[in-house]
Amino acid sequence: MTPDDPRHGSTRGYSAGCREACCKRAHALDVKLSRLRKVEGRPRAIPVQGTQRRIQALMAMGWTSQDIADTAGLCHRAKVTSILNGQKGRPAVWVTQSTRDRIAAVYDTLSMRLPDMTRGRQRTRTIAARKGYAPPLAWDDIDTDPAPMGVRHRELVQRHDHHTWEDHDELQAQGYTRAQIAHRLGMTVDALEKALARRRKEDAA
């Protein structure tokens, strides 16, 4: 395989003979998920909290629901969304053992590397910061901790602001209007204005 082969970082790359770390990780994850798919018996219900936190932590890094669903071998990103938000106005309470294990396997892999930033991933990261999703390092035990360790509201707001400022400057340089930038970042114009005002205040301090 050539260095620019698009199969790098996938099971197809591993099958083609690549043994670089990116393809080995993809192969190892595929093997783990294959074993999970072979587990027989009645699905076991598990409290959803740890699975929700794993998804939120990956989104805080910029991984999209589609990234997570694809890597987990789920049929559609709606499955990831339903774990986070519930269905038909009812919050999610339980998740099957199989789904929990799939998301945990994906988390163990994706939480160890940052995604290449696309517009969709920038938007995911911005929305996650606005919602206060805690990143992986905020958890000691992601399943049982009562709250994120060492992550306070002010720190989350500051992290969100810095991401917003960077994304705003990049989009502004490309010629987007303030309203267009706010839409792409998944926020209102007023919220964007407030974030930029905090930057001006910080710069003046």
Q: pLDDT of 31-68, one tens digit each?
A: 776 666 555 455 677 899 999 999 999 999 999 999 99
* 54, two tokens: 């794993």
Q: Are the C-beta atoms of residues 46 and 100 closer than 8 Å to each other?
A: yes
In whole angstroms, give the CA distance from residue 22 to residue 19.
8
Residue percentage of the chain with pLDDT more than 90: 21
3-class DSSP assignment, residue 132: coil
Identify residue 68 by its one-letter amino acid code: I
In whole angstroms, give the CA distance from residue 104 to residue 109.
9
Instruction: Write the pLDDT tens digit of every residue in 163-200.
Output: 778 888 888 898 989 888 877 776 678 878 888 888 88
pTM score over 0.95: no
Query: Residue ranges of the domains in the chain?
Result: 8-38, 42-118+133-146, 152-205
Q: Are the C-beta atoms of residues 58 and 123 closer than 8 Å to each other?
A: no
The contacts of residue 118 (CB under 8 Å, 6+ apart) are: none
Domain 42-118+133-146 of CATH type 1.10.260 = yes
* 46, two tokens: 């598990």
